[in-house]
Amino acid sequence: MDISVLPTEIILNVLEYLPLADLVRTERTCRMIQAFCHGEIERRITSGPLKNDWGVLVHLDQAIATATHFDTRTKKVTFNVTMQQPVQIKTMFDHKRQIQCSLLRRNQYCEDFVFTVEKGMSEGSTVDITAEGAALCEINAALTRHEKSITSSTNKKLIAPSPHLYSIQLTQLQIPLSTIAA
């Protein structure tokens, strides 16, 4: 049967009822169906029920990831990560400090990954970093090292140096379509 004789409305109506996993398999059949499937996948991911399915747990603070774009070439979905404010982290050492994070789907655990603070970051600077150990996703963040607040007191002696203060702001999350459809 030649599928090109079917009206566009019927094809779109049939694809609307397919589960996402079947839609991903269907898009591999031919170029015409692939174009329809890509449109339906993007509609479901960016404005449908899958829009707010994903989140990230960062150092005991949760952020929601909202789908913004589906790239048909790389088959990856791009998410903006909305954080009310950057997560602040205090550490005594300025190198190899790992910030533990988890990828969540419908508030259930999916995968762990870490951001590592490298030595030599100057106070007041911000660097873009990428998560390590994430097999299911790619996640980017902005890490800022804040200046130490020096409180001078004439009567008190400092026993230990004041901790380094960092803040991390997640910026972007990319998840492959195969992970979302699973």
Whether 142 shows a pLDDT value over 90: the answer reads yes
Q: What is the spatial distance between Cα 78 and Cα 66, in angstroms, rounded to a whole number? A: 8
The 10s digit of each residue's pLDDT in 38-54 is 999 999 888 887 888 89
**61: three-class secondary structure by DSSP:** strand
* Domain residue extents for the chain: 1-50, 52-181
Chosen CATH of 1-50 out of 1.10.10, 1.10.3470, 1.20.1280, 2.60.120: 1.20.1280
Contact 47, 166 (CB under 8 A): no
Average pLDDT, the chain: 86
pTM value > 0.75: yes
The 10s digit of each residue's pLDDT in 90-125 is 888 777 888 899 999 987 888 999 998 888 888 889
Q: What is the spatial distance between Cα 80 and Cα 113, in angstroms, rounded to a whole number? A: 18
